[in-house]
Every structure is written in C-alpha cells, then in structure tokens.
Amino acid sequence: MTQLGRRGKRRVDSHFALGLSPAGAAAVRGCSVVIVSVLLTVVSAALYAASFPPLGLAPLAWVALAPFLVAAVRVRPLGAACLGTLWGVLMGLGVAWWLPAMIAGYFELPAVAGWLGFLVVALGLTAWYVAAFAAWLSWLAERRAMGPLLVAAGWGASELARARLLVGNPWALTAYSQVRFTTLVQIADLAGPYGIGMLIAAVNAAVAGLVAPRLRARRPRVAVVGLVLTLVATLAYGSHRLSETFATGEPATVALVQGAIERGFSWRPEYGRLGVERYLALTRDARALRPRLVVWPESAISAYLQEPTPEQRAILQATRELGADLLLGGPHYEFSDRRTLYHNSIFAVHAGRVTGRYDKIRLLPLAEENLPSRLLARETGFTPGAHVTLLEAGDLRIGAFICWEAMYPELVREFALAGAEVLANLSNDAWFGDRAPARLHLDIASLRAIENRRYLLRATATGLSAVIDPYGRTLTESRLREPEVLSATIRPSDARTPYQRWGDSVAWAALALALAAALVDAASPPEIRASGTCPPRAHTEGADR
C-alpha cells in the first residue's frame, strides 16, 4: 500500500472510530476546509488593510494576498466567490472605517444608515470584483497549473474592472500602498497603478505557491527566475527614471492656501463671507513670496463668481492687487434648453477677470449627482462637465481637476495629452474627519504626477495640501486642520510618457489574458484538461455549502 493510501486509510479508520458515517466524515472535512479558508481570508484582508494608512506597513502588501489565494484554491468557485465577497467587505472596512460616519454626517442620517451605506459601497463597488477574481482563480486552478503571471493578470483585471465599471471605485488599489517606495513606483509612467498591483500580486502568488501546489507554474523554477528578473528590471527602470529630468521650463513660484474650513462651513451662506475673508487674508500673507500662481481648494467659495456679490468683488480686487493668477473652487450655473445646470468648478482669475473655468467631470454619486433625477431630467445636484479644459496662468498651462478625480488615471492623462504643463488637484477632504484617508488621497494623487511626469499642486480645505514633483516625491506638505500657506518653486513639463501614449494597455492586456485562459480551458476537451499537472482538490466536499 502506498504512503498516500495508508494516510487515507488512517483517516477513514479514525472517522469510523468516532462513529461517523462516510457522509458525516465528508461533512466534517468540508467544515474544516471552510473554517480554515475563512480564517485565511480574514488574515489576508487585515494584512492588506495594514499596508495602507494609518499603519502604512507597505511591505505587508507583498504577502497580504497570499493567504487569500491559498483559501480561494482550496474551495470550489462558489465558495471562492463567497470568500472574495468577505475579503472585499473586510478590506473595505480596514481602509475606509471612517466611511459610515462620513455618510451619516454628510447626509445628516442616523449612524445605522451610515453603516448600511458602507455595506452598499463595499458590496457593490468592491467585493463583487474580488469575488469574481476568486471564482475565476478557483475554477482555473481545477483545470491547470496556475502561476504568478496568470494570477497577476487576473488580479490586474479585477482592479481595472473595479476602477472602471459602474461609478468606479479605485480607492486603495494595491499600488497606492507602495508610494513611499519611490524607485519601485516609477514604473507607473509605463503601466499605471495596475502594473504595480500586478507585480505585487505575482509575488503573492509565488509565496502562496510554496504551500498550495495549484498556484505553482508548470515550471516553478522558470517562473520564479522570471519574477526575480522582473523585479530587478523594475528597480533598474526606476533608478534610471529618477536620474532623468522631465520639467525643463522656466521656474515659477506657487502658493497653496489651506483655509482649514471645516466640513459644511464653506457651503453655508451665512459663513460664506467669513470663509472668503480667511482665504484673502492668507493670500495677502503670501504676497511676500511673490508667487506667480496662488491656488485655493475646492469649494473655497459658496457664492457664484459670475454674480456681483461682495465675495466676488473682494476676490477680483485681490487679484488686481496681488499681481498673480488665482485658481479657486466654487459653484457655477448656466442655462441650457430651458434648464439650469449647476457645476462644481475651478476658476482661473487674472487681474480682476475670470479667464477660464473647468467643470468637474467625475461627480461623486449621490453627494454631487442624483442619478435617478438626472435620468428623469430633473434639476438636482451638479451636472458633469462635458470635456477636459486647461486653465492658464500667464503662459503656464494647467490641468486642474477636482477632489476624487485624482483617483482616475485615465482622466488625468487627458489633461497631459491636451497640453497641460502642470497638474493641480483642488479638493475638500474635510469630510474624511481623519488623517489616514487624507494621507491615502494624497498618495493616490502622487501617482498621477509620476504617470504624467508633471508637478502636481494639491490644495485642500483642511489638509493634506502638498506640492509633488514629477517623481512622486512630496516637496512640501501642510499640517492637518490648520490654516497654512505652502510655497514651492516648480517648472512646467511637456514630457511624453509611455503611459500617456498607451494608457491602461497593460491592464487591458491582463484582462484579455485572464479571459483567454478561461475560454481556452472551457473549450478544451475533458481529457486534455485532465492531463494537466494540477493535483486534485483534496477533501473539499461541502465547502460550497
């Protein structure tokens, strides 16, 4: 009798000794698989969340997915999908624990409604993408030897889908945990955030393959050597890019004004004038810096800059006295087909005159855009802008975008392709109520600077405001919830990067590979699939129950 046969006989004998029937023994084995798989999933989600602020233990991301990958291939596709759903919800809680309170506070709802809103976001905008990835992984692992490349392709496809489908939810993509590893993240100008995430997923797959044979490539040594060479090439590429100069235009001094206006303050009419006065006072303090450009955050004013209000007159007069261009965020309206359209906008003001306007394109669902009302042509919320618009400060062309638009690399890329020499992100992060999400939002914006090799000016209402160089490094950063003026010298850039040329081609290729692998296996005759090197799934009866 073989060693495997002896082990199986001992298991059967032990179950009979406990008085269990074969069906009962199978149920026990199934329950043990489920329990272990759930525990692995919980550990994985916790490690992944710990790689982001507030803990920011970035190295954990390189092993965080491994327990989840092991769990997914231990069960059948339906069970793997359930594990993926659990992982998505727990990960969401770990990186966005502040979201329930923010939802309740923003919409003035009870706390329980905030938690229900969180579950809707976690399930609808995160968890089901992870569930689909896990089911795909489990299904393929029954039929073929997986490996780092194929697992990475599947993970990259799931992150691309999460960022692009429905309203998109690219918060806490894997790449954003690695912003502090400056050399590594330089490949963002080649493959965007998805390429970095795929590299991390490949390493996780290699680690998981140490204990899960189904996650090993047909030629494990070749796969590991290829992965090591890819990591070395990534670091070499990063070092090379860090030695290059991208911004070669004439230097310009910029000033970012952080008014520390708490949440809700700037949109209450009775306080609108006080908010403008605070920003004007801080701007006058910046006059000694002789800035060429001054940037206020999103929602810096609540009045309409197109109307002759006291706030409008004060702002226009200040720009005449300052001798610098001003970017600021505020509301705007226009008439179209007997309807009034409202926009969340950025204005460029020069010498007492509004010279340009950008209307936010990617609106925050429910908070800024009521989709059902929009479909019914009712006037409610903001209307998304029609297209990318550059703003100018003298001969400096600026690609300015608003708040969470920084999370969409494909949108920011359009500004650079349109000729933007500097990027600006005006945001109101007061609703976060905590340093950790403000830090992650800043980290996300940093990758946009790398992808396009532009300086990025990030002006926020309460922090964290910052000036970021074309390598993703923070040159100066504000404190949280304190009035402050940041100043830095920047240079315009007209660099053309591979990411600008190709966009998310790497991620789309990953999606194509993941789908092709599934289609090929589905179309293969059973006898061909059976000839693969994957060991049979062991003792998972009942794992999907």
DSSP 26-63: HHHHHHHHHHHHHHHHHHHHHHHHHTSTTT--GGGHHH
Closest CA to 94 of 146, 141, 41, 147: 41
Q: What is the pLDDT of residue 429?
A: 87
Residues of the chain short of pLDDT 70, as ranges, are: 1-30, 263-271, 370-380, 523-545
Q: What is the pLDDT of residue 21?
A: 61
| Global pTM value | 0.89
Positions marked active-site: 298, 360, 403
Sequence letter at residue 177: S
Q: Rounded CA gap, 421 and 357, in Å?
A: 17
Q: Is the CB of residue 399 less than 8 Å from the CB of residue 415?
A: yes
Domain boundaries, the chain: 26-243+502-530, 252-494
Q: What is the DSSP letter of 124?
A: I
Closest CA to 423 of 407, 395, 445, 394: 445
Give the tokens for residue 82.
Answer: 């359930």
* Token pair 């309203």 in the structure block, residue: 167
Sequence letter at residue 25: A
Q: Rounded CA gap, 210 and 212, in Å?
A: 6
Buried b (16+ CB within 10 A) or exposed e, 288-315: ebebbbbbbbbbbbbbbbbeebebbebb
Helices and strands (H and E) in the chain: how many = 19, 12
Q: What is the pLDDT of residue 237?
A: 98
What's the CATH number of domain 252-494, 3.40.50.2000, 3.30.300.130, 3.10.20.580, 3.60.110.10?
3.60.110.10
- φ, ψ of residue 342 to 5 degrees: the values are -110, 140
Starting at the edge strand that comes first in sequence, how are the strands of the sheet with 325-336 ordered? 353-359, 339-350, 325-336, 293-295, 252-258, 484-490
Give the tokens for residue 275.
Answer: 């908010």
- φ, ψ of residue 20 to 5 degrees: the values are -95, 140
- φ, ψ of residue 493 to 5 degrees: the values are -135, 140
Q: What is the pLDDT of residue 107?
A: 82
CB atoms within 10 A of CB 46: 16
Q: Is the peptide bond before 526 cis (omega within 30 degrees of 0)?
A: no
Strand-strand pairing, 466-468 and 252-258: unpaired
Q: What is the pLDDT of residue 77?
A: 95
Q: Rounded CA gap, 313 and 303, in Å?
A: 11
Q: Is the CB of residue 519 less than 8 Å from the CB of residue 164?
A: no
